[in-house]
Amino acid sequence: MRKLLVVLFLLPILSFAQEKDTTLVKELKAEIKLYKTFNLEKDSIAIDTSLTIQDEYKYNYLRKDNFGLFSFANEAYLYNQLDFSKKNSFLLPQFGFNAKHITYLNNNDIYYYSVPTPLTDLYFKTVMRQGQSLDALLSVNTKPNLNFTVAYKSIRSIGDYFNNLTSSGHFRFITSYHSPNKKYYLHANFVGQDILNQENGGIVDPTQLDGTNTSFDQRERVDIYFNDAYSKLKGNRYFLDHSYQFNSGNSLVLKHQMYYENKFFEFIQLTKSDRLGEALYNSVNNKTNYDVFYNKAGLSFKTKNLGEVSFFIDNYSYNQFYRIPLETTYVSSIPYNFHNRINTIGGQYDFDHRKWNFHILMQNAISNKPTSNYEAFAKYKFDENQYVKISAQQLSKLPDNTFVYNQSDYANYNWLNSFKNEKQSILKVETKNKWFEAFVQLSNLSDHLFFYNTEEKIDSLVVKPFQYEKDIQYFAAEIAKEVKYKNWALDNRVKFQQVEQSDNVLNVPQFITRNTLYYTKAVFKKAMLLQTGVTLNYFSKYFADDYVPVIGEFYTQNITKVGDFPVFDFFVNARVRQTRIYLKAEHVNALFASKVNYYNTPNYPFRDFHIRFGLEWNFFK
């Protein structure tokens, strides 16, 4: 709430600051193409207020197309990773607690802005019960070369089931600057985030949802495992990226990037649960702290016709620690903190000229922790929206920290491991043209790390990290095609996945599909654009990973399959000037189901029928 008040306080100040710059307000009705957002790779996107089917897909808490992700019953709580090809892999070891990081904003989620007049972007959407979802952003250029952006995203929803509240806040302050001669560029941001979830551990007895007892139609009456547990992920990050080019044209460029981040994951349970095993106390309080400092310095030679050659060195230092007295630890051999420093050197070549784009990156560790990344791609652009691209990557990465090191008040969740690097080899071909959009990916995984419940039953969770020493081959193919006839359109996206492995370690659905039939027409003398239709989401039955709240991770299970059920959503959307209005009836077919047979994991039911509405509103002053 305090961060939201800061945003509201800054709005009039930033607006006033830009009003004083007469060079930017000569025309209040600037062309929409002049309002742009871009990332650090300088990929620029014009801000668009049109209403397309892609806007319908992006109208969610993540603010992006979530095909391949399957949301849990409560908004912004958890997401199944149906599409393994979209799973992020980082060269350097991460904090862990990965299930909780799906809504956490990383460096590559932050975009910068350039606007001729103040831009306001508002997102609002209702939730399951008692709350709302909001994302508000204000961006101003106080000068043509200096931008300030403040934003705050939040959600509160108690959900349908007992002890399943989600309450999150994400504050962003973003700025970008370039010198008048365009030799010096600076991008900086501060992001403060807190993600709180009540953790109910899933339902105890699935037969309560078989439709025979109507009292359980009130989902808060369904028995759940944990009545008084919750988790919290909180972090603050300070980021800076800047460069200086000595001359225009062919020239040397100095580059520097750094960030500092401190965060923690906390699991609190007022009454210990026998499901998780023996505990030190009747109440459990696990708090894992993490600090990381990253520095990267580079020098590149940039030419107009031959591209850019870069060399860099970086330093990645982190410390993960607990504040637990010695006499209260289960395993005295596990240290209070786990720290490391990794240094790498690398070279990079980028070429972007006319219709061709090439990229080559080679990076190796020079510290005592071996790690490496080699990647390359070649892209040919037929025009701005049509291309073909071939890419390859070979990655050897250190394990994330939760696999290596963990302390807990629960005896079963203490470990100190020594695992080998995970290795991945990826070959990918993709294309986008006027007929269809498609890609094919082939991956080989070695020394894959995963969590597994050693008890192999749902009412007892002794989840431990393991390393699979055999190779895993993963194949994926995806195609998307939209067919239009007059005001009607059918948008289709289908994905096929196949895993070759000796044991069921990596489990994914074989088929994922999304099909939308919709109608678009301008009404009320073309004052409003109306869009209405129905969307089918489906994935085939598979052994979905289950979730263990105490470490905020998904784990492999091979007991119960979920999936093989359709989810129909009916929507009516409209655009009036710069305002887009959304109304959706979610999971309509749940109204006609005699029992709940739709699950995310073996004991986490997917959401029931809901009607939700909201809007996106842009102001261009």
Q: What is the pLDDT of residues 561-575, one digit of tens each?
A: 999 999 999 999 999
pLDDT of residue 42: 72
Output helix, strand, coil percentages for the chain, rounded to the nearest 5: 10, 55, 35
Q: Once rounded to an integer, what is the mean pLDDT over residues 8-17?
A: 43
Q: Which amino acid is at 405?
A: Y
Mean pLDDT, residues 497-519 taken together: 97
Per-residue model confidence (pLDDT) at position 325:
55
The number of residues making up the chain comes to: 621
* 3-class state of residue 592 by DSSP: helix
pLDDT for the residue 369: 82
Q: Give which of 95, 138, 130, 116 is closest to 32, Cα–Cα.
A: 116
What mean pLDDT comes out for the span 283-303?
95
Characterize the bridge pairing of strands 610-620 and 119-126. Answer: antiparallel
Q: What number of CA atoms fall less than 13 Å from residue 579's CA on the CB side?
A: 7
pLDDT in tens, 303-323: 888 899 999 999 999 999 986
**Residue 330, pLDDT score:** 59
Give the whole-angstrom CA distance, residue 583 versus residue 590. 18
Domains of the chain (ranges plus CATH)?
2-620 (2.40.170.20)
The amino acid occupying position 290 is Y
Read off the pLDDT band of 41 (50, 70, 90).
confident
The predicted pLDDT at position 412 comes to 94
Q: Is a pLDDT exceeding 60 seen at residue 12?
A: no
The confidence score (pLDDT) of residue 27 equals 43
Question: In angstroms, rounded to a whole number, what is the distance separating the alpha carbons of residues 361 and 375?
Answer: 5
pTM: 0.91
- Stretch (H or E) spanning 244: strand 229-245
pLDDT digits (tens, 9 = 90+) for 408-456: 999 999 999 999 999 999 999 999 999 999 999 999 999 999 999 999 9
B/e letters for 448-463, b = 16+ CB within 10 Å, e = fewer, are: bbbbbbeeeebeebbb
How many helices and strands, by DSSP H and E, does the chain display?
3, 35
pLDDT at 10: 47
Look up residue 141 and give its two tokens: 């250029």
Q: pLDDT band for 348, please (50, 70, 90 cuts).
A: very high
Q: What is the mean pLDDT of residues 591-606?
A: 94
**Stretch 209-238: mean pLDDT:** 95
Give the residue-averaged pLDDT of 106-135.
Answer: 94
| Cα–Cα distance for residue pair 384/399, rounded to 1 Å | 39
- Which helix (H) or strand (E) segment holds residue 167: the answer is strand 166-178
Q: Provide the mean pLDDT of the chain.
A: 91
Distance of CA 531 to the CA centre of its chain: 27
Range in 83-97, 438-452, 471-485, 496-510 with the lowest mean pLDDT: 83-97
pLDDT at 385: 86
Q: How far is CA 179 from the centre of its chain?
A: 33
Let me know: does 116 contact 24? Beta carbons within 8 Å.
yes
pLDDT of residue 327: 53
Q: Is the pLDDT of residue 33 over 90?
A: no
Mean pLDDT of 74-92: 93
Q: Is the pLDDT of residue 271 over 90?
A: yes
pLDDT at position 331: 62
pLDDT over 90 (residue 329): no
Share of the chain above pLDDT 90, in %: 83
Q: CB neighbours of 66 closer than 8 A, spacing ≥ 6?
A: 57, 60, 79
- Predicted confidence (pLDDT) at residue 328 exceeds the cutoff of 80: no
Q: Exposed, middle or buried by CB within 10 Å (0-12, 13-18, 19+), for 42?
A: exposed
Please report the pLDDT score of residue 30 as a whole number: 62
DSSP-assigned letters across all residues of 406-465:
E--SBGGG-EE---PPEEEEEEEEEEE-SS-EEEEEEEEEESEEEEEETT-BTTB--EEE
Q: Which residue has the higher pLDDT, 319 or 47?
A: 319
Mean pLDDT of the 590-598 span:
92
pLDDT higher than 80, residue 602: yes
Residue owning tokens 């007295």: 325
Looking at the predicted structure, is the pLDDT value of residue 24 above 80?
Answer: no
Contacts of 470 (CB under 8 A, 6+ apart): 501, 502, 503
The DSSP line for 196-227 is EEEE--SBS-GGGGSSS-GGGGSGGGS-BS-S
Q: What percent of the chain is predicted at pLDDT more than 70?
A: 93
- Given a cut of 90, whether residue 16 has pLDDT beyond it is no
Report how far residue 455's alpha carbon sits from residue 464's, in angstroms, rounded to the nearest whole number: 10
Spatial separation of the C-alpha atoms in residues 324 and 233, rounded to whole Å: 19
Distance CA 299, CA 302 (A): 10
Q: For tokens 């060269």, name the residue.
A: 91
Q: Please give the pLDDT value at position 154.
A: 97
- 332-369 residues labelled b (16+ CB within 10 A) or e (exposed): eebeeebebebbbebebbbbeeeeebebbbebebeeeb
pLDDT tens-digit profile of 53-72?
999 999 999 999 999 999 99
From CA 81, how far away is CA 102, in angstroms rounded? Answer: 10
